[in-house]
Structure 1
């Protein structure tokens, strides 16, 4: 029999994260495009980002058609894709005089995120932002596919902090860290150290 689950954070009621999820304002709108394979993961960081930001939305699918076109056509925002690329620029502080940004964030493994771009060609035409190399993930349960790789939530927090340095977005990481601590507690400290501890390759 399945355990009762919170309808908001999708965690078991005994491990509900809602009390830790903030409601933060941002001038930047965040639109997360989540591959369906990610939506059922226990560590669904994109959902935490969408719940914690007032000006954020999570769409789940492989092709987004009219829903994506409608959001990209909104004249109130200038849209950028958060994804590496040859012409990608680093996030920089935005002034109040500039049109607010709409940050489009693909959520999935690198392979699935690239597939989202392929299946939604309009994304390929957007200017890109990417974070600098050398950042360290707090995601202690999964080896990063490459140095500097962050979870979706961490990448959003880091990007917003650079776009809007006058605001603080660290509170978005509280449920994420609690989620990881809970997973480590469930597996046991010895198992965690053996499989994920310092020096583990």
Structure 2
């Protein structure tokens, strides 16, 4: 028999994260396009990000037939947070817009699944691409990063917003994420965590 879940954060009611989820506002509009394979993942960081940001929307799918509508945000310049040869540093892209609000589009999934979203949605792949500074360190200790500097979706969004909207801070968005990580580590046991994921520092 499955445990009752919180309908908002999708966690078991005994481990509900809602009291930790903030309600942060931003000039930047955040659109998260989530691959369906991520929906039931125990560490659904995209959902936490969407719940904690007032000006954010989470859409699940592979082919987004209404993408043109989703991207139509009056006064906002849409850009895609995804690496690539033509990707600009986000700080430079935002500075060139001279403070105009951005629509930050963030694909959520493994690198393979996120790349598939771009392949299946040409209008998405055609957006200007932006990247975060290299050298970031992820706190997502339960999933092996595909490459150095890879971040979870919620970490990438926080870093992006702090670049675009400096000096505003968005670290509170990470509080439920960190509690979730610690809870998962506690559930598996310290010894198992160290054996499978390295040091528990």
TM-score band by shorter chain is over 0.9
Q: For residue 80 of structure 1, what is the aligned residue in structure 2?
A: 79
Whether 1:99 and 2:100 are equivalent positions in the alignment is: yes
Structure 1: unaligned runs, 5 residues or longer: none
Q: For residue 139 of structure 2, what is the aligned residue in structure 1?
A: 138
- The answer to whether the 8 A contact 1:94-1:164 is kept is no
Distance in 2 (CA, whole Å) between partners of 1:74 and 1:188 is 46
Task: Give 1:195 shift.
Answer: 1.3
Q: For residue 189 of structure 1, what is the aligned residue in structure 2?
A: 190
Whether 1:8 and 2:8 are equivalent positions in the alignment is: yes
| Matching of residues 52-91 of structure 1 within 5 Å | 52-66=52-66, 68-91=67-90
Q: For residue 167 of structure 2, what is the aligned residue in structure 1?
A: 166
Q: For residue 123 of structure 2, what is the aligned residue in structure 1?
A: 122
Task: Give 1:90 shift.
Answer: 1.2
Change (3 A) 1:123 1:96: closer
Distance in 1 (CA, whole Å) between partners of 2:188 and 2:73 is 46
**For the aligned residues, what is the CA RMSD?**
1.6
Q: For residue 45 of structure 1, what is the aligned residue in structure 2?
A: 45
Distance in 2 (CA, whole Å) between partners of 1:22 and 1:190 is 32
Runs of 4+ residues deviating >6 angstroms? none
Q: For residue 148 of structure 1, what is the aligned residue in structure 2?
A: 149
- The answer to whether the 8 A contact 2:26-2:53 is kept is yes
Structure 2: unaligned runs, 5 residues or longer: none
Distance in 2 (CA, whole Å) between partners of 1:142 and 1:96 is 35
Task: Give 1:114 shift.
Answer: 0.5
Q: What's the CA shift string for 1:20-65, capped at 9, x where partnerless?
A: 0000011100000000000000000000000000000000000111
Change (3 A) 1:50 1:137: same
Distance in 1 (CA, whole Å) between partners of 2:193 and 2:16 is 22
Normalising to structure 2: TM-score of the pair?
0.94
Normalising to structure 1: TM-score of the pair?
0.94
